[in-house]
Structure 1
């Protein structure tokens, strides 16, 4: 089971690591997009969210307080879904559908992060192939 969890952690964080790299290396274009979506101080928000993504994904990947890493990713995902993908405000049907897909993807991934938070917190040191145990204790 330990190897399966490790493989799952690696596959899970690929999206977030890629996004973190984009946030930290393409601040200008991403800040323009965030600003168009009404994000205040968009350049600061892009860098801050990139650091949040990087910290959360490395935490889950390396198994260093992986429960905290999953929580950090959830903290990114839920506000992002609401702020960046408000499909209910879009009139064009094709764009509305695209935003709804992104919204639901972020919400589903946020739910997966909450499950990982519970999983890592509950399993504690019994879960192998991590560098530390959990930060939080659930159960």
Structure 2
């Protein structure tokens, strides 16, 4: 029971940044975010922003509930790789303070990539819908 609670809390904490990014920023500020993306060199920003939102919501929800969590983690990993490349390229920044800020954001995303790889390798853990379904079907 304690392991399930910790897994559920861990998955919720992990995906909060993705779900809030989509629901609290990207959707309500769609035009501004697309303009920012265009300014950063993202091709077809209106289209890719829609895709990013879908990856964030679907991936975040799948990891959160622990159903098809490996797929959800894959979607979030793809988002992270692209977002990190386009928006946290600290190696191109000249201003020292801005460079440090972007390096921190880069490393944060690198850590999140590690968490997604961990889920892809090990599954969602205890307290997930996958664990409930596998117990009911007799699989371990």
TM-score by length of 1: 0.85
Aligned to 1:33: 36
Q: CA RMSD in A?
A: 1.7
1:25 positional shift? 2.1
Q: For residues 120 and 131 of structure 1, what CA distance do their matches in structure 2 show?
A: 11
Q: For residues 18 and 88 of structure 1, what CA distance do their matches in structure 2 show?
A: 27
Q: For residues 83 and 76 of structure 2, what CA distance do their matches in structure 1 show?
A: 11
Determine if the alignment matches structure 1 residue 18 to structure 2 residue 27.
Answer: no
Runs of 4+ in 1 over 4 A off after TM superposition: none
Q: For residues 109 and 52 of structure 1, what CA distance do their matches in structure 2 show?
A: 15
Determine if the alignment matches structure 1 residue 60 to structure 2 residue 58.
Answer: no
Q: For residues 100 and 25 of structure 1, what CA distance do their matches in structure 2 show?
A: 27
Segments of 5+ residues of structure 2 without an aligned counterpart are: 134-140
Q: For residues 12 and 99 of structure 1, what CA distance do their matches in structure 2 show?
A: 21
1:129 positional shift? 2.4
1:30 positional shift? 0.7
Aligned to 2:85: 82
Aligned to 1:98: 101
Q: For the Cα contact (< 8 Å) 1:64–1:132, is it kept in 2?
A: yes
Q: For residues 33 and 105 of structure 1, what CA distance do their matches in structure 2 show?
A: 21
Q: For the Cα contact (< 8 Å) 1:81–1:103, is it kept in 2?
A: yes
Segments of 5+ residues of structure 1 without an aligned counterpart are: 122-126, 135-139
Q: For residues 128 and 81 of structure 1, what CA distance do their matches in structure 2 show?
A: 30
Q: For the Cα contact (< 8 Å) 1:17–1:57, is it kept in 2?
A: yes
CA deviation profile, 1:13-62 (whole Å, cap 9, x unmatched): 11110011122221111111111110011121112101100000000111
